[in-house]
Amino acid sequence: MAYRFTDLLPEDFSDSALRRDVLDGLVDRPKTLPPKWFYDKTGSELFEEITRLPEYYPTRSERAILQANAAGIVSGSGARHLIELGSGSSEKTRVLLDQRPGPGSVYTALDVSESALRQAAEALAVTYPDLVVQAVRADFEQHLATVLGDPLTGRGEGGRLVAFLGGTIGNLEPQERSVLLAGVRAGLDPGDAFLLGADLVKSPQVLLPAYDDAAGVTAAFNLNLLQVLNRRLGADFDASEFAHRAVWNSGQARIEMRLRASRRTSVRFADLDLAVEFGEGEEMRTEISSKFTAERLEEELGQAGFGPDGWWTDPEGRYSLSLWRPV
Ligand code: SAH
Ligand code: AVI
């Protein structure tokens, strides 16, 4: 096991932080929960299955862009240290790691999912014996300053590349996005760079099947959230009473994943001493997946203090990869 594992999350993170999110999100209307709770072991595995679905283009598109441009991106950024936020399986990241400048290069993977981190780090350590692999269990909404400011992630050495791939930036609300981008910017030194994967606005005819596939894997991913709530907070959701929904919100340019109660039901959270009522047909929003234009990204990154240094899309113009520098 030739990798370093650091846990920045408190022992009771998935109980205490989830508790707060349930108390904040399920008493509001509409009911909402942040998507980070999808990723228990089963959720991380279901996400990997999603990435292989014929309807789910983002992973394939991003991999194709990386394959065509990784050499230029890595040599252009001079990166000896790659830090990835929400790294998951780190599968596509291998395309970047294949271009690492030489022995002594470092890869730091950051994710909330310990199972995904450990599996990825173990596999990478085998494929790349000369690579220093660090796995950090952390919340990128809370621990950016700690992670990017740590000498272990090469602060002050220059030539760091922070990558945020997969379109996960779209899972954040606009306000959360601007906080995250400002946090990345604050953690970068001149000479460092930020590589961002972002999904682009396109026809709902392409978008909707990507979030409501024929095999029902995305539905299983969405419904697994109810098992997380049952297990972590002693809730008594009956998953058969809820249905997966994917809706294109054109005004806000985002897919919304929801869970819809098929009948009126009351759910008890034993650990919170809380009962939550769902009306018939009531929906709980479990994820937003925002889709971007080049202009919008440039504006948001500009506001965070970044200037553009590279822009690539797949041949069909579905997905973008972009490189940014602190200005
Ligand atoms: N980057 C990978 C995985 C994307 S899935 C890819 O492109 O395929 C999103 C990943 O982000 C999951 O592994 C999930 O556990 C992680 N994640 C979600 N919210 C997070 C948060 N707040 N902090 C850290 N990781 C998070
Ligand atoms: C991780 N994230 C970018 C995925 C997305 O496309 O928003 C999560 C996902 N949700 C449903 N399918 C995939």
Give the pLDDT confidence score for residue 103 in this predicted structure: 85
Which of 42, 57, 111 to mutate to test ligand 1, by most ligand atoms within 8 A of the CB atom? 111
Give the pLDDT confidence score for residue 158 in this predicted structure: 76
What is the CB < 6 Å shell around ligand 1?
A: 36, 39, 44, 47, 51, 59, 86-88, 92, 111-113, 116, 139-141, 165-166, 168
Output the DSSP codes for 124-152.
HHHH-TTSEEEEEE--TTT-HHHHHHSGG
> Mean pLDDT of successive 10-residue segments in the chain (327 residues)?
89 86 92 96 97 98 97 82 97 96 92 96 96 96 92 80 98 98 96 96 98 98 98 97 98 98 97 96 98 98 97 97 97
Q: For atom 16 of ligand 1, which residue has the closest CA?
A: 86
* Residue 55 to residue 215: CA distance in whole angstroms: 10
**The three-state (H, E, C) secondary structure of 30-92, written as one string:** CEECCHHHHCCHHHHHHHHHHHCCCCCHHHHHHHHHHHHHHHHHHHHHCCCEEEEECCCCCCC
Q: CB pairs under 8 A, 24+ apart, for 146-151? A: 146/8, 147/8, 147/83, 147/108, 147/110, 147/187, 148/83, 148/183, 148/184, 148/186, 148/187, 148/188, 149/187
* Residue 248 to residue 244: CA distance in whole angstroms: 14
Q: Are 314 and 61 in contact (CB under 8 A)?
A: yes
Which of 168, 202, 286 to mutate to test ligand 2, by most ligand atoms within 8 A of the CB atom? 168
Q: For residue 228, how far is its CA from the centre of ligand 2 (angstroms)?
A: 17
What is the CB < 6 Å shell around ligand 2?
A: 50, 58, 166-168, 170-171, 211, 218, 287, 289
Give the pLDDT confidence score for residue 150 in this predicted structure: 82
Q: For residue 211, how far is its CA from the centre of ligand 2 (angstroms)?
A: 8
* Residue 110 to residue 187: CA distance in whole angstroms: 15
Contacts of residue 62, defined as CB under 8 A and 6 or more positions apart, other chains included, come to 92, 165, 166, 167, 197, 314, 319, 321
Count CB atoms within 10 A of the CB of residue 22.
22
Q: For residue 239, how far is its CA from the centre of ligand 2 (angstroms)?
A: 20
* Phi, then psi, of 150 in degrees rounded to 5: -80, 135
Q: For residue 8, how far is its CA from the centre of ligand 1 (angstroms)?
A: 16
Give the pLDDT confidence score for residue 1 in this predicted structure: 56
Q: Is the pTM of this model over 0.95?
A: yes
Whether the upstream peptide bond of residue 35 has omega within 30° of 0, thus cis, is no
Output the DSSP codes for 233-282.
H-B---GGGEEEEEEEETTTTEEEEEEEESS-EEEEEGGGTEEEEE-TT-
Provide the 3-class DSSP secondary structure of residue 207: helix
